[in-house]
Amino acid sequence: MSDQATHDRGATAQRILVDAAALFRRLGYERTTTREISEALGIRKASLYHHVSSKEDLLYEICLAALRDVEVGAQEAVAAAGDDPQDRLRAMVHGHTLAMLANVNFSHTMLTDMRSLSGERLQQVVALRDRYETWAEGLIAAGQKAGVVKSKHSAKQLTLGLFNMLNWTMFWYRADGDLTPDEVAELLGGIYFDGVFTG
């Protein structure tokens, strides 16, 4: 998790977020109890509330941190990639994947348990996600305009396909698995950009 993510939080509050995200990924937000979170931290359940105002607050902070980290990771990679539309798209996939997998517990929680947020907070998280996806759609549209991305489908539809390819990864990625984050990015980008068929 970036320092930026937590620059205004105490060290304990930050540990709570990290431990909670690990539990949320494993058990799901609704199934995880505040008692389990406190036990992971070695304190009593009531002590949590000195640092956090509610369980839903934890979810909210995790969603914001996850979205911000991926957005920053992808956009910095693209900014460093120069002007070539294909290079920019490859950089987006690489930056997105590395940021997502560096904090896979956060990304997983955000994508699958976002629905447990209530009212305004849900709308805010959805709006942030939509803003990011619209930015990605712009990269694809630029590629189409330059003639390097196929135009059989709209940029909107190709963006749906892009996030299909990227998002599901958190369900099977393991830090101790066969593939490094770089290799995952290379695999997914290779398929998305060039396909699996020869010729």
Partner DNA sequence: GTCTATAGGAGGATAGAC
Partner DNA sequence: GTCTATCCTCCTATAGAC
Q: Considering CB distances under 5 to 8 angstroms, the limit depending on partner class, which of DNA, a second copy, none binds residue 112? A: a second copy
Per-residue binder mask for a second copy (CB under 8 A), 106-135, x = binder: ------xx-xx-------------------
Q: Please report how close the Cβ of residue 42 comes to a second copy at its closest, in angstroms.
A: 26
Tokens 């970036």, located at residue? 2
Q: Which is nearer to a second copy, 135 or 193 (CB)?
A: 193
Q: Does 77 sit near a second copy (CB under 8 A)? A: no
Cα–chain center distance at 199: 33
Check: CB of residue 109 under 8 Å from CB of residue 24.
Answer: yes
Q: Helices 104-113 and 11-27 meet at what angle, rounded to 10?
A: 60
Q: Considering CB distances under 5 to 8 angstroms, the limit depending on partner class, which of DNA, a second copy, none binds residue 12? A: DNA
Q: Considering CB distances under 5 to 8 angstroms, the limit depending on partner class, which of DNA, a second copy, none binds residue 157? A: a second copy
Q: Is 158 exposed, middle or buried (0-12, 13-18, 19+ CB in 10 A)?
A: buried
